[in-house]
Structure 1
């Protein structure tokens, strides 16, 4: 009986430690974003001059393990991990004018996160999009460029994640993500909706239906949809 009690106590300790690490990660990530992000832009000069805060939160992220069945914690962790890793990737190549100026930035450069040695594309396409059908991910995963949806000055947290996903999607759909010509019934949208067309369409819904789900001023009637070029300039303050 004593043996089983010790095993249970050990398991409880391990789970408690993991929960504590995750809580610490969210807290440190939140502090980092608040200190270094404003109006969707990142203070790369400031971070480059003193990288301790960024390195600290990424060090915590190295050994965190979250099961995908724990969906909110899992999604919040990997969204923040992606955004932090983008910043780290740009800082490692700083000064730089664009993430695309660095070969393999998204598909070759590895990041030690969550017990894995993975690329940014792995996080986005395998761990997030590969496990969840959630088009709103595209409005919170920020690739370090002006054309991306804006980075928020706080961490994504499990208890507020759905509201944050919703808010950022509405902000994009009602903002610069879309350009509407009402006279000609033409709407141009970010190339994100072209690259990931399958994420925004279902049997019951097309891209215009998706837009109208979040847009305050609905697009009534028939509209011609096209895409405007992506701006890959670094999202620097």
Structure 2
């Protein structure tokens, strides 16, 4: 007969299982309704309110770009709310695809800042979300064109499958020190390529992206969670990192490889 575990032990085991599964990254899976655009439309989205907030509350500290959540005024919280209202009142499918990319990245990052501000002070975004949730990424974040969206929807069902660009992981920010930095400039159709390249260069050359200590190479857990977006094996991933990283190439590394990520809040 199978021995029954005490309730406390069973609950503890369940929590450990949930904790281990929390890091299982969502797959890229297209939400077909968003894969449409109007390439003849020359109109652009207005991201000036988001730029205002970035200019006022982003600071640099070493390898990190930090958001000063605690200093955000009530007036600027209203600016963020208005920006999100204005942005989500528009249907991005009526715009060019290049405009859409900037729309979704800025929306994701602005929504993440709002999630933190709504619950601040907190130590980590992972403390948010429902009971036994690891973060707020599966919670409803907004509504666009009548469709309810989560942060995971935006990243994994829209951005990743439509654009199929590994640099997306350097552009969307999860409000954590281990994450690629929140860009100091709002994305637009015109600056997307330069911002993506700059973000990739910055992250791969930072210690939180890749660092060598003797015979051990420590990579960001992003390359473990989303390795499929960077290459079909570890050496291919290292080759992709080398595209932007200065110094000695990582491809061909034969020592130990480990992964790390700092979920501490990206605040000063």
Deviation at 1:231, TM superposition (A): 1.0
CA distance in 1, matches of 2:71, 2:265: 15
Q: TM-score, normalised by structure 2?
A: 0.74
Deviation at 1:222, TM superposition (A): 3.2
Q: Which residue of 1 aligns with 2:27?
A: none
Deviation at 1:114, TM superposition (A): 5.8
| Within-5 A mapping of 1:10-25 | 19=43, 22=45, 24=46
SS at match of 1:216: coil
Q: Which runs of 5+ in 2 are unaligned?
A: 1-40, 131-135
- Given the alignment of the two structures, is residue 76 of structure 1 paired with residue 97 of structure 2, yes or no? no
Q: Give the helix-richer structure, 1 or 2.
A: 1
Q: TM-score, normalised by structure 1?
A: 0.83
Q: Which residue of 2 aligns with 1:8?
A: none
Q: Which runs of 5+ in 1 are unaligned?
A: 1-14
Aligned length: 216
Q: Which residue of 1 aligns with 2:150?
A: 119
Query: 1:36–1:153: 8 Å Cα contact kept in structure 2?
Result: no
CA distance in 1, matches of 2:263, 2:203: 17
| Within-5 A mapping of 1:56-71 | 56-67=82-93, 70-71=96-97
Q: Which residue of 2 aligns with 1:229?
A: 260
Deviation at 1:31, TM superposition (A): 1.8
Query: In the superposition, relative to structure 1, how do residues 114 and 34 fare at CA in structure 2: closer, same or farther (>3 Å)?
Result: farther
SS at match of 2:177: coil
SS at match of 2:92: coil
Deviation at 1:69, TM superposition (A): 7.9
Query: In the superposition, relative to structure 1, how do residues 113 and 224 fare at CA in structure 2: closer, same or farther (>3 Å)?
Result: farther
Of residues 48, 51, 58, the one that matches 1:27 is 48
Query: 2:218–2:260: 8 Å Cα contact kept in structure 1?
Result: no
Deviation at 1:144, TM superposition (A): 0.7
CA distance in 2, matches of 1:107, 1:220: 35
